[in-house]
Structure 1
Amino acid sequence: MVKHSQLFLDGLFHPKKLAGYRMLSIGKVIQYVFILTTLVTIFYYIQYITGVSNENSFDIEGFTQYVKEIQWLLYPFALFILFLTTTTIFLIQISIFALVGTGLLKVMKKRGEYRHMWRSSALAITWPALLSILFPFLPIHNLIGTLLGILVTILLLIIAATKYPKLPVK
């Protein structure tokens, strides 16, 4: 049985193994996605609590006082909403990348299904997820960071697709 730490390392350093993980159970892959989502959410939450962000924020005296009064309620609610939105975004990204990857398989004349590419895509978003944690600390515009994440994921999917089996000759 493959450990989540092995999936994490292979998602980072061994893109050719992503094709081999297409046969993993969907439960194991979804567990990995939730662990990755939890990791990213924790870092986003720490940034939220500490106020570290690369975006401009407004500072209104009355609003600031109100937030200080309800902080005990705001932080758990923010954590829940942050986890929910991060999970939704990751699952949508994985699904879109799986669709793109399925197109790549057809163009490369490789055998595979959407469900196989979904598993490979779930592991391929490891780098973009980790980079999204670092972007607030770097002087990089959000659009450039997003495009970089998309390019890295598609590159990893191309590498993984080369290891999928070829379509049988008719």
Structure 2
Amino acid sequence: MVKHSQLIIDSLVHPKKLAAYRLLTIGKTIQYVFLLIAVVTIYSFFQFLTGVTETSYNFTGLTEYVKDIQWLLYPFAFVLLTLTSTILIFIRVSIYAFVGVILLKVMHRRGEYRHMWRTAALAITWSTLLTVLLSILKISSIVSTILGILITIILLILASTKYPKIPKK
């Protein structure tokens, strides 16, 4: 059984191994995706707690009300951040898997959507970690998004080269 730490290392350092992990169980892959979701959620919640995402509106009554219900606001915010991160990351992986299937067809490689979904789930590691890092460094989210898309597509291309070729007729 492959450990999550090995998946992280291979996702970051050995992109060609991503194709081999297409045979992982879906449960292990989903566990890995939830590990990435946890990283994003914890970072987002830390931003929320420290007030980095605070808006510039200054409503005296509203700020007093928020101070009164903080004990309720924090758990609700954590659940909402977790739910939002989960939905967005699963959608991202699914879109990348679709792009990966197109890459497989163009490169005349054999593979199915389910295989490419597992590969895409591992390929988003760099873009997820870079998004958090670039957010800490206060770099534009547009730059972060474009860089993440490029890196993930490159990783999918590298992984696709290791998928088996379609035999010629």
The answer to whether the superposition gives a TM-score over 0.5 is yes
CA distance in 1: counterparts of 2:162 and 2:41, whole angstroms: 32
My pick for the range that moved more, 160-169 or 60-69, is 60-69
TM-score by length of 1: 0.95
Q: How high is the TM-score relative to the length of structure 2?
A: 0.96
Residue correspondences, number = 169
Deviation string for 1:55-104 (max 9, x for gaps)?
A: 85323222111111100000000000000000000000000000000000
Give runs of ≥4 in structure 1 deviating > 6 Å: none
In the alignment, which residue of structure 2 is the partner of 1:155?
154
- Residue ranges of structure 1 left out of the alignment (5+ in a row): none
What residue ranges of structure 2 are gaps of 5+ in the alignment?
Answer: none
Alignment of 1:57-136 (within 5 A): 57-136=56-135
**Does the aligned pair in 2 maintain the 1:10–1:18 contact within 8 Å?**
yes
Matched, 1:14 2:14: yes
Matched with 2:164 is 165
Structural RMSD (CA): 1.2
* Percentage of pairs with the same residue: 61
Equivalent-residue separation in structure 2 for 1:151 and 1:66 (angstroms): 44
Contact 1:23 1:116 in 2 (8 A): yes
Q: Paired residue for 1:40?
A: 40
Amino acid at match of 2:93: I
